[in-house]
Structure 1
């Protein structure tokens, strides 16, 4: 988490870990007051020093100074930290937060997808280019920053999936294989990304590798969740095994969202089905965990079964 000069791109700070955590927590709830107690918990990881409120105030003062560097005090884009009865709040100037700009570009890209797929793809690329690493890097570890980072990462992956749908729809599958391989390695349980990689590989005349992606994903799901991947991925594998080259229509529909009753990847029914399937897997995993815990408790210190 950093403050950069908007003109030069130079990193202004914060220099210390606690300053970065404070900035991350305030940015995660930009425009909202974060209680002092919660900020103390976040900044000192549950082990605050004596006089923590005063120490926090000192960090806020240093953060304010950083935010005023090269800013016009009367300008509309000015960012600052304000104190109130409920705590401290970051009030960012318009367009000052990367997360805000990212969301705007993604929304614009989705809105243009049907009428101008190429323009929509450029907007989504621009949105994803704002990412310089993991969300809130250097600020994580507390409840506020961890929750915000998970939400932002999900938004990033959804935007990437939308971009790759457009690329597949436009026949640009060769351009995205390397990116998809990297993302599926980092997120092996992500069905949509794995399906997109399968489609791209198949179109490049590499169906055996596409089916290998399915088998790898299936093994990962069974190992981690105790259930098979969803039916859409299985259908894709069967189609590829039957030598069917995936067309582009499904990907355009996937980006715009299926009909409300269509059961597609973005439909309410499809999402409910996936949630129910995952919940069944969680129940099985919980039961298995209880069984193993019981067996562990039945063992003595030397590994023998207690009488």
Structure 2
């Protein structure tokens, strides 16, 4: 799709798959407060381009009906929620979170499927409107939660080597996300690397002090104290 407005319109409608989005909300997203002489006509033109794209991708329903429908005062992308990768990701990650404590193997399969749907930052080329930017932040937060759940499942299943390797990468990529450091400390301790676990706490404390002028949060401080005390509960811990 060459037009940024076409990408934005399709993204907004996909975020609300099966639900009508009003002309007003679409105009706010497409033009972000800019004055447009005739937004309704401009929107109709963009909708025509969206339909053309969807037809080219096999988006026809029946003989002459496209999945993008005009409704009173708006448009609706008439597709099931599970046909949108973003919604599939959210649903799979949510299912995994509810099964993690009782069925970590099943949760890991769900999380692997969810994270395989990612091909880069969410809604990267969908414009700067409030809806798309808010949705992008939500997707990124859920992605990080899913990554944490994924390594947590590996720890619970005894796959510490892979969990530790992944957590080292995540800590390096997101140095201020204390949750990843906490999981890394736990995994290291469980394989007998108490000194390395404590070193991770020291590094996290140093980063937080240098970059933000703060101390580690309660989560890391509690894990640090448990490791120093060699708390027996740590041997089988997998959930915070």
TM-score range, shorter chain: 0.7 to 0.9
Match of 2:90 in 1: 103
Match of 2:30 in 1: 43
Q: CA deviation at 1:220?
A: 4.4
Distance 1:137 1:79, change over 3 A: farther
1:176 alignment partner, SS class: helix
In the alignment, is residue 73 of structure 1 matched against residue 52 of structure 2?
no
Aligned ranges 1:161-180 → 2 under 5 Å: 161-180=148-167
Write the distance in 2 (CA, Å) between the matches of 1:158 and 1:202.
22
1:34 alignment partner, SS class: strand
Root-mean-square deviation (Å): 3.0
Match of 1:282 in 2: none
CA contact (8 A) 1:40 1:48 kept: no
Q: CA deviation at 1:249?
A: 3.4
Aligned ranges 1:226-241 → 2 under 5 Å: 227-241=214-228
Q: State the Cα deviation string for residues 143-195 of structure 1 (Å, max 9, x = none).
A: 10111111122222222222221111111121123322332333333222221
Write the distance in 2 (CA, Å) between the matches of 1:131 and 1:97.
12
CA contact (8 A) 1:125 1:163 kept: yes
- Structure 2 counterpart of 1:189, from 176, 189, 214: 176
Unpaired runs of at least 5, structure 1? 1-13, 255-264, 266-307
Aligned ranges 1:267-306 → 2 under 5 Å: none
Report the number of matched residues: 238
Query: Relative contact order (alpha carbons < 8 A, sep ≥ 6): 1 or 2 greater?
Result: 2
CA contact (8 A) 2:17 2:81 kept: no
- Structure 2 counterpart of 1:135, from 110, 122, 125: 122
1:247 alignment partner, SS class: helix
Structure number with bigger Rg: 1
Match of 2:140 in 1: 153
Match of 1:24 in 2: 11
Q: State the Cα deviation string for residues 63-87 of structure 1 (Å, max 9, x = none).
A: 1222234245239xx9722223342
1:89 alignment partner, SS class: strand
Match of 1:302 in 2: none
Q: CA deviation at 1:222?
A: 4.6
Write the distance in 1 (CA, Å) between the matches of 2:84 and 2:222.
41
Write the distance in 2 (CA, Å) between the matches of 1:74 and 1:94.
19
Match of 1:53 in 2: 40
Q: CA deviation at 1:212?
A: 3.6
1:82 alignment partner, SS class: strand
Q: State the Cα deviation string for residues 99-154 of structure 1 (Å, max 9, x = none).
A: 22223322433444355322221111111111111111211421101111111222
Write the distance in 1 (CA, Å) between the matches of 2:172 and 2:66.
38
